[in-house]
A and B are shown apart, each in its own frame.
Chain A
């Protein structure tokens, strides 16, 4: 072989890359006429050999390997592995495709490693197309096509494939002419015909369907006088069968020029490999070696290896030398030493058989079989026409260089980056012809699609939520997958999902905003009145507020009017808007005490960004509930300590108890203490003269303390608090609206202790306020004793009856204040409680038996069971606090009631909510005051609803110490 074509000494693949002009040079080897043998078909799973491996003995070189061979990667990239045997001038082109299971295995493994989005089906679709294109190419470039069957019977699937390829071939003949005519050296015959000749197809079967057995071998030959050995007979029958089938399927015709391929009329075209002539793997090789060593006598007619040869070089020769065709049956005749002689006899018999041609050598057989066809190619005498009137078949014996150039051109034509539109259209038609299952599946899915869509659209409400949509979608999918089949199902399922989702989104979406109580807004998806167009995105959405079906009944700020209240979606509506609505109708005319709100100084006031505390409060999780439980317990202890702090503070140096501690809870605590000391700081300054000596002293100290810059709480006027005021809210921020309300229902005389409050919704006997008697000294007794002012509730209770002569002849009198904590249930039922979960008791003659002491001194629950006797039990929430301040009587010291509302709506760590006052509110005298509490409690983390766990209910409370008084 000349050096300039040295690339061709080994296996190469198309397109072959040779130096420019190399092929055009006028060298003898370029001018050699060659015969081309293509090897196509299916290959079984075998890592050590491929379907072309049996050809190695013909070439006398170890050329074609299995996937374990060194060309593994190259084979995957380029599907045709070519080898040019210069000695015999034969070009072998082996098509490797997904029909070779070893390749399929690699493709599956790649799928495992690469990604899951691609499934094998789509990979195989591409491969199928490539395979068909390669076949087209090889059928136009070869003289002989060797079709390999791993099994023992003709594969009917090829009929359809041949038919498809043939029809495409005819369509492409025009454009192929253009391609081929541009290749130098290609004759006119060749380019017009589009191929070198009508290739002759030979059939190779790797598994004989009959079992060749030694004992049957000799028995059969002796018993019957059959003309042919079984294998020969089988081969002839198979030729008949294949010929009949191909004729019937019109794969071959009388005129070979007109068909895709031909089979010879009077020559063998089926070859059955009785035994794989190759030793298929190294293990086999080793065991055979071992056997040779042990039984050297058996090797008399085999070329015994004198010198050790490498495995690759020796394995082929070695196996050929073993006379026994079946390795499995070999030991049975070899093993018994006693029957050694007979075994040898048998072996000799079988070798005799092979010598007489009954069992010919596989190697020679295949070579002989193939060579008779190759010789005909070289003599240009292939004529497979049937009958006399056939047109002389076109036949070209190309030179090596021309063939390589033509092959490159065709490879480029079929697989190159710039495919002509011609090829494109053909390729797409090829795809549909090859894939009947997909076409069937498509048709079927299309039929089922409306059915599935119908299932989705059946009984749909005008608009609905995501969960409903998904439910319907899964139903539609079920319907679809029941009737749809095949590979197109997956794609259509996705389409169905898209269709249904689009249908839903086209005006059938329900607004899915949850109300604060967890109920869905039951209107179509909409835009809020104040929402920006940009944020809502869609212009055509209708504008409305959220509304759920749930409605409760609630009274107004003052409690005189009841109205239906919509389920709140914002705490503003729950705590402000609703009441403002009623203000217009009812309480607007009443006297109000304004509560602190944000006063903007700039038009672009914005909400302060409040970082959500990391220990976000989630009422659901049990663990946290337990934690809460613990913290509540410790909180309780804190409450206990508060008393201690209080008592110690009174003894400690007063500087300590000053408002220096400007921050946080302590500040509030101090405020609270201040309250208990019956003093407020502003009042302190105004009425120093009336103060008790104790407080006066304090005030004096306080005023000295004021020399130091006292922490002044200045509220921001540019940023507001986006949620409600509570104990952990950052200082200096105020909400835009008050969540509490305080108004005066009327003069003190408005309330009659005999009748109670005549307001709507009160349960019978539940509308009485509780008396809170505040003991005061008469005029002449200006100063209450320290013990008096610091006395606990018990002491005061003991002091009743109120008028009792005290020591030193002082006469005590009492001022009666009426208090009431009103609970309201969602149905609008209202009642007062006298203590935790204790509804006030009223005797038959409308005399209230309880007093207000527990309201003053005990934490009152925020929620209690309503008395409306609902079977399910209905919880009511503390909504209003009533205080009747008495009129000042000249003869008696005036009493001012101070209130400092604060609510802990859920167990710790929930903050306490308050109206945002720095100090308690002093209620003016002579009035029925109504403090309306918020309906909903919400901070930056969450909404604090009534806990579902009844164990936690007691932790939701209004802490004691809301009421206080001051005697003027």
Chain B
């Protein structure tokens, strides 16, 4: 109760958000859109946060919440529209390609189409769309499309959120690892020559900070045991990964206020405890929280209120280390051009083509 007010006043004090909608960065047909360049400024103080996840795990919702929406907002006011009831019932998907939204604090949010999605595949089937001949099957096409989006986001974002609504799909984790493997080198073509002069930059490819967000977490998940089990699994799966996954952006981090979950003293694996893993519970659907005194018998949740956790989630993500994407500092406009170039190189990547050949 008391803590929640802080989060609310914070949002009240914030300047009114400009009511500009999201725009397309990559459209339905996977083409780059130049319209976003108008939103870009000539300044360097910005952060790019992307989100990836399987179908229906709440990617758009999580980004909207990060941009300033609260759970009390109506869905239509969300910066990124979540799936409407109709699309859900019809097994459709909401976001296609990549959507972009820039907040007044110069946070560039990128929302991607669901990865490895049956709905996306079904959409192709339903409308009998043709897919390029280099893909041996529709399924491979969907997989490669997902791979393109993922490698692109891993290349251009400072922070990538990986959302799930149940813990956890091992195949999806592997898919992320494969994307890391296929990520094109971020180094500019001029400096990627193999002669001895550039040896110092060698090996220092750029990898984003990756934060796992467990959405729709239940009370079980908030128990210390379950939480550390999750961290441990992720730590093991990403043991040899170069993605920045151990920045201590997690529920045990007390830097931005109280930790939500307290570290167990006798934890065997300290490294696993550093793993980036945030949790948000199932959203509470009532429009306003009941007054404390009116509550005769509050339901036992086992975790702080949604507002508290939302504030924690925002604070953790926005204060996370902003891994650079290029060796040089970029302005927003530079970044946009860089991203466009990365998208083209992802689409033409020989690595992805090779991977595709292995799929068939």
Q: Size class of A's contact patch?
A: 35 or more
Which residues of chain B are near A707, meaning CB under 8 Å?
none
A689 within 8 A of B: no
- Decide: A437 near B181, CB < 8 A? Known: A157-B116, A210-B89: yes
Partner of B56, one of A153, A330, A436: A153
Contact flags B341-360 to A (C-beta < 8 A → 1, else 0): 00000000001001100110
Cα distance, A240 to B91, chains bound together (Å) = 9
Contact A153 B54 (CB under 8 A): yes
Contact B199 A478 (CB under 8 A): yes
Q: Which residue of B lies closest to A441 (CB)?
A: B181
Contact flags A30-66 to B (C-beta < 8 A → 1, else 0): 0000000000001011111000000000000000000
Contact B220 A237 (CB under 8 A): no
Smallest CB separation, A458 vs chain B (Å): 7
Smallest CB separation, B62 vs chain A (Å): 16
Cα distance, A471 to B112, chains bound together (Å) = 44
Contact A151 B57 (CB under 8 A): yes
Which residues of chain A are near B185, meaning CB under 8 Å?
482
Which residues of chain B are near A46, meaning CB under 8 Å?
220
Contact A335 B239 (CB under 8 A): no
Q: How many residues of B contact A (CB 8 A)?
A: 80
Cα distance, A356 to B314, chains bound together (Å) = 44
A647 within 8 A of B: no
Contact A153 B237 (CB under 8 A): no
Which residues of chain B are near A364, meaning CB under 8 Å?
none
Which residues of chain A are near B5, meaning CB under 8 Å?
none
A327 within 8 A of B: yes
Which residues of chain B are near A327, meaning CB under 8 Å?
299
Partner of B85, one of A206, A210, A337: A210
User: For window 500-546 of chain A, which residues contact chain B by CB distance below 8 Å?
Assistant: none
- Decide: A101 near B296, CB < 8 A? Known: A237-B91, A249-B139: no
Contact A335 B296 (CB under 8 A): yes
- Decide: A237 near B90, CB < 8 A? Known: A44-B167, A244-B122: yes
Which residues of chain A are near B44, meaning CB under 8 Å?
none
B73 within 8 A of A: no
A779 within 8 A of B: no
Contact A291 B125 (CB under 8 A): no
Contact A120 B239 (CB under 8 A): yes
Which residues of chain A are near B301, meaning CB under 8 Å?
328
Partner of A119, one of B55, B57, B240: B240
Main secondary structure of the interface of A (DSSP, over half): helix
Contact A436 B268 (CB under 8 A): no
Contact A485 B180 (CB under 8 A): yes
Contact flags B289-309 to A (C-beta < 8 A → 1, else 0): 010001111111110000000
Smallest CB separation, B121 vs chain A (Å): 6
Contact A283 B91 (CB under 8 A): no
Which residues of chain A are near B56, meaning CB under 8 Å?
151-153, 209
A329 within 8 A of B: yes
A280 within 8 A of B: yes
Cα distance, A475 to B194, chains bound together (Å) = 12
Contact B118 A156 (CB under 8 A): yes
Contact A245 B167 (CB under 8 A): no
Contact B232 A437 (CB under 8 A): no
Contact flags A120-163 to B (C-beta < 8 A → 1, else 0): 11001000000000000000000000000011111111011000
Smallest CB separation, A315 vs chain B (Å): 15
Partner of A245, one of B118, B290, B294: B118
Which residues of chain A are near B126, meaning CB under 8 Å?
244
A108 within 8 A of B: yes
- Decide: A482 near B203, CB < 8 A? Known: A156-B142, A437-B178: yes
B262 within 8 A of A: no
Contact B232 A485 (CB under 8 A): no
Which residues of chain A are near B199, meaning CB under 8 Å?
475, 478-479
A207 within 8 A of B: yes
Partner of B166, one of A150, A290, A487: A150
Which residues of chain A are near B171, meaning CB under 8 Å?
155, 157
B169 within 8 A of A: yes
B221 within 8 A of A: yes
Which residues of chain B are near A641, meaning CB under 8 Å?
none
Contact flags A410-451 to B (C-beta < 8 A → 1, else 0): 000000000000000000000000001101110110000001
Smallest CB separation, A231 vs chain B (Å): 9
Partner of B358, one of A108, A206, A436: A436
Partner of B88, one of A209, A248, A329, A475: A209
B229 within 8 A of A: yes
Interface centre among A156, A237, A440, A475 (most CB of B within 10 A): A156
Which residues of chain B are near A245, meaning CB under 8 Å?
118, 121-122, 125, 139
Smallest CB separation, A442 vs chain B (Å): 10
Smallest CB separation, A128 vs chain B (Å): 9
Contact B286 A332 (CB under 8 A): yes
Smallest CB separation, B175 vs chain A (Å): 9
B332 within 8 A of A: no
A233 within 8 A of B: yes
B337 within 8 A of A: no
Contact flags B250-294 to A (C-beta < 8 A → 1, else 0): 000000000000000000110000000000001011100010001
Residues of B within 8 A of A (CB): 54-57, 83, 85, 88-91, 116-119, 121-122, 125-126, 137-139, 142-143, 165-171, 174, 177-178, 180-182, 185, 194, 196, 199, 202-203, 205, 216, 218-221, 225-226, 229-230, 232-233, 235-237, 239-240, 268-269, 282, 284-286, 290, 294-302, 351, 354-355, 358-359
Q: List 10 A-B contacts (CB under 8 A).
A: A108-B236, A156-B117, A211-B285, A216-B85, A248-B121, A332-B286, A436-B178, A479-B202, A482-B185, A482-B203
In the A-B complex, the 10 residue pairs with the smallest Cβ-Cβ separation, listed nearest first, are A485-B181, A331-B299, A154-B118, A486-B181, A120-B236, A157-B171, A44-B166, A105-B229, A150-B166, A153-B55
Given contacts A207-B165, A237-B91, A238-B91, 19 further A-B contacts (CB under 8 A): A44-B166, A47-B226, A101-B170, A112-B269, A153-B55, A155-B118, A156-B117, A157-B116, A244-B126, A281-B219, A283-B300, A294-B297, A328-B282, A329-B285, A436-B359, A437-B178, A440-B181, A478-B199, A479-B199
Residues of A within 8 A of B (CB): 42, 44-48, 98-99, 101, 104-105, 108-109, 111-113, 119-121, 124, 150-157, 159-160, 206-207, 209-211, 213, 216, 230, 233-234, 237-238, 240-242, 244-245, 248-249, 280-281, 283-284, 287, 290-291, 294, 327-332, 334-337, 436-437, 439-441, 443-444, 451, 458, 475, 478-479, 481-482, 485-487, 489-490
